[in-house]
A and B are shown apart, each in its own frame.
Chain A
């Protein structure tokens, strides 16, 4: 009964949380973009100059530019390549997480939401970095893969699939499940889990 209530309430709350998320625009994406900028401009300082927000798009300026089809250091090319990434591709996880958490009506809900939000920003930063990695792999190819500390192409493809296609929906579920502990819904679930585990042992 509690589980049914949880799912029905989540479905009802989704349009509301998605509306707030959309209206908030850059607010929910900004910390993830800062983290992504910190990560990329420190670990891949030879490739990435800086990353910042322009509206809901994350603009990543590269350390190289393009001249007559050739990728050259920005100073030689006389220009700087910039990649734009839609931050909403990963930030919608916040709207989903908020709907799940609100539907559970947990104690210390706001505190739990803040903790979950922090972890979602970290996960979103990896998602944004994965999109940049995939774009560079497709656009620059060999010269990018031959740069220092750049993982193999297959890893970049896997990271993109995992961090962009899966994590925005999986991470909110995992966080919500973790934060459920101690709630009436958790007790109901734990009862099911205990019976199911006992069923496996017999």
Chain B
């Protein structure tokens, strides 16, 4: 337990510091955030052709309402927490790599739902938008991280059960 906690905190702090570095922001985080905006637009477009993505900004061409995906809204921090948990927990490298890949996908999938929901909530009611943006969605994203990590632990356990002779 102590080893897990130490490793978890170490990896979490290191990844967080690396994410904040200007070259990492410029080369990785900002383009990734732009990609999230483009992906969100691509998902919305078949249902609503008024949406435009401009870099990290998602805009409604009719109302002019726009949301900008900033640090803390791109799901990278939540993914870092999950990665730190997976790296800190003892497992084979292939299991860890697979879990990080799948976990990142699940966190980002929910994050895209969050971006799209906020885009429409903001156009409907700004108070509700603020509530969801500042308080509820961060909690739901962290719950998502927790669920993914719990599923990972169960999956690791099952792998062991299957590997053991009957």
Is A196's CB under 8 angstroms from B142's CB?
A: no
In the complex, A154 has a CB within 8 A of chain B:
yes
Residue with the highest number of chain A CB atoms closer than 10 Å, among B89, B90, B161 = B90
Near B by CB (< 8 A), chain A positions 157-195 give 157-158, 161-162, 165-166, 168-170, 173, 189, 191-195
Partner of A157, one of B20, B77, B135: B20
In the complex, B153 has a CB within 8 A of chain A:
yes
In the complex, A191→B161 CA distance in Å?
12
Is A158's CB under 8 angstroms from B16's CB?
A: yes
B156: chain A residues at CB < 8 Å are 192, 195-196, 199-200
Instruction: Mark A residues whose CB is within 8 Å of B.
Output: 3, 7, 10-11, 14, 18, 88-89, 92, 95-96, 154, 157-158, 161-162, 165-166, 168-170, 173, 189, 191-202
Near A by CB (< 8 A), chain B positions 131-166 give 134-136, 138-139, 141-143, 146-147, 150, 153-154, 156-161, 163
Instruction: Mark B residues whose CB is within 8 Å of A.
Output: 16-17, 20, 71-72, 77, 81, 89-92, 95, 134-136, 138-139, 141-143, 146-147, 150, 153-154, 156-161, 163
Minimum CB–CB distance for B149 against chain A, Å: 10
Is A195's CB under 8 angstroms from B72's CB?
A: no
A18: chain B residues at CB < 8 Å are 135-136
Chain B interface secondary structure, helix, strand, loop or mixed?
helix
Minimum CB–CB distance for A188 against chain B, Å: 10
Beyond the given A196-B89, A199-B92, please list 20 additional residue pairs across the A-B interface where CB-CB is below 8 A: A3-B150, A7-B146, A11-B143, A18-B136, A92-B134, A92-B139, A95-B139, A161-B20, A161-B71, A165-B71, A165-B72, A169-B138, A169-B142, A173-B142, A192-B157, A196-B153, A196-B157, A197-B90, A200-B91, A202-B163
Give the A-B pair count, Cβ closer than 8 A. 90
Partner of A189, one of B89, B139, B143, B153: B153
In the complex, A199→B162 CA distance in Å?
10
A200: chain B residues at CB < 8 Å are 90-92, 95, 156
